Amino acid sequence: MKAQKGVNKNTFNWLLFLSFFTLCLMSPVFGWMDERGEDDKSGIKEKNQLIVLPFVYYTPETKIAGGLGGIYYLRSLKDQSKGHPSTFFMDIVYTQNKQFIIGITPGLYLNKGKFHLIGDLRFKKYTENFYGIGPQTLDEMEEDFRYRSFALKCSLRKRLRPSLYVGIQYDFEHSKITKIEEGGILDTDDVLGVEGGIISGIGIILVQDSRNNLFYPTKGTLLQIDAMLFSLAIASDFQFQRFTFDFRQYITVFTKHVLALQQSANITSGDVPFQRLPVLGGPWVMRGYIQGRFRDKSAIFFQMEYRVPLIWRLSAAGFVGCGDVADKLNGFKLNDFKISGGLGIRYLINRKSGTNVRLDFGFARGNFGVYAMINEAF
């Protein structure tokens, strides 16, 4: 992809400026938060807390992006889970590629932590890249499409054990494709979902989470399994099924050296619109490939990252990923698997939570991506 095959000097200078600017914006706020917590040394219990601050970041998919984000901590909520306060995340984003996003993401612990309610309400005016469907698509097949969508995802999980939750979830999206390239694949081929429509599904979810930290775990595991059914009976324009498996493990190798591992599978069947096909690439999965560079009915990938402290609040990371897509489970071929990898720098903006700003350089065959983001990829 053009935006990802090279980063010119001017863009690189902008990235360095963005990273420095982000640190200047966030360090005072998160530094202040370092000194406060539920177990405040003063013995005074914390009250609810609202933090609002501007932010900037960069990905090949968005180029330079900026906006306003807010976190509301409901620390006085008596139902909160020990060590994890109920929260509301809010953000407004506008990007150099004229993408616009508004999102609200609540996470509430109820009934003394016995239930966990998670939601995500999001409006997007967005441009994405499309290369066709399948594992053998070429860079030359790249085309853009623009869409507008309103999406709601929510799940209610019941705690069975201290680290084990099971629950139900709902996934709704109404989208409209507003622009496609004339003569492109989406224009000339019969691609399901090119006219947009309503996606509506219900399902079940199981989560086992023994990580010692949500933002920068150094030990423990996370296992998440869910199965979803999208049906005409619940107002969906498309009938299909989706099964996802995500397992992550964190191992302390030496003092403060961390090996992070992730194995994931996303399997769909039925009449799946192209927007909901499993994909590879982006700032979270196989960095180096553009987000959605490969898509099909099934996707599996493995990635690992080695995280090393340097000096002060700085640390470094090396990462590698391997994965592929196929139209069905028995369609995967080992010699077709894609590989990506790279290096990154981290700056710790909050010692208490372990929150990092990361600058990653990802490399893949014929592709190169630079990512300036908040929080780890996994």
Residues 6+ apart with CB under 8 A from 140: none
Q: What value does the mean pLDDT take over residues 127-139?
A: 93
Q: What is the mean pLDDT of residues 177-196?
A: 93
Has residue 378 got a pLDDT over 90? yes
Please check the confidence at residue 152 and state whether its pLDDT lies above 50: yes
Asked if the model's pLDDT at residue 58 lies above 60, the reply is yes
**Amino acid 263: pLDDT:** 97
Least confident of 80-94, 169-183, 331-345: 80-94
Q: Extract the tokens encoding 209.
A: 């989470």
b/e 37-62 (16+ beta carbons within 10 angstroms → b): eeeeeeeeeeeeeeeeeebbbbbbbb
Q: Which phi and psi (to 5°) does residue 87 adopt?
A: -140, 155
Please give the model's pTM, rounded to 2 decimal places: 0.84
Higher pLDDT, 170 or 110: 170
Do residues 300 and 333 touch, judged by C-beta distance below 8 A?
A: no
Tell me the range of 42-51, 305-314, 344-353 where mean pLDDT is highest.
Answer: 305-314
Domain hosting residue 185, numbered range: 2-374
pLDDT the model gives residue 135: 94
Q: Is the pLDDT of residue 345 over 90?
A: yes
Looking at residue 69, its pLDDT comes to 86
C-beta separation of 102 from 122 below 8 A = yes
Q: How confident is the model at residue 49 (pLDDT cuts 50, 70, 90)?
A: confident
Total domains present in the chain: 1
The mean pLDDT of 290-305, rounded to a whole number, is 95
Given a cut of 50, whether residue 38 has pLDDT beyond it is no
Taking residues 199-228, report their average pLDDT.
94
Instruction: Judge whether residue 363 has pLDDT over 90.
Output: yes
270 has pLDDT over 80: yes
Residue 204 sits in a domain whose CATH number is: 2.40.160.50
Is 50 exceeded by the pLDDT of residue 41? no
Task: Tell me what the pLDDT averaged over the chain comes to.
Answer: 86
| pLDDT, position 214 | 82
Cα 214 from Cα 14, distance rounded (Å): 30
Q: What is the pLDDT of residue 300?
A: 97
Q: Between 127 and 75, name the one with better pLDDT.
A: 127
**Least trusted range by pLDDT, from 49-53, 293-297, 362-366:** 49-53
Judged against a pLDDT cut of 50, whether residue 3 lies above it is answered with no
Q: At residue 301, does pLDDT exceed 60?
A: yes
DSSP string, 304-319: EEEEEE-STTEEEEEE
pLDDT at 211: 92
Question: Would you state the pLDDT for residue 16?
Answer: 57
- pLDDT (mean) for 196-218: 93
Task: Report the 10 Å Cβ neighbour count for 336.
Answer: 12
Beta carbons of 258 and 251 less than 8 angstroms apart: yes
Mean pLDDT of the 3-26 span: 54
For residue 267, is pLDDT > 70? yes
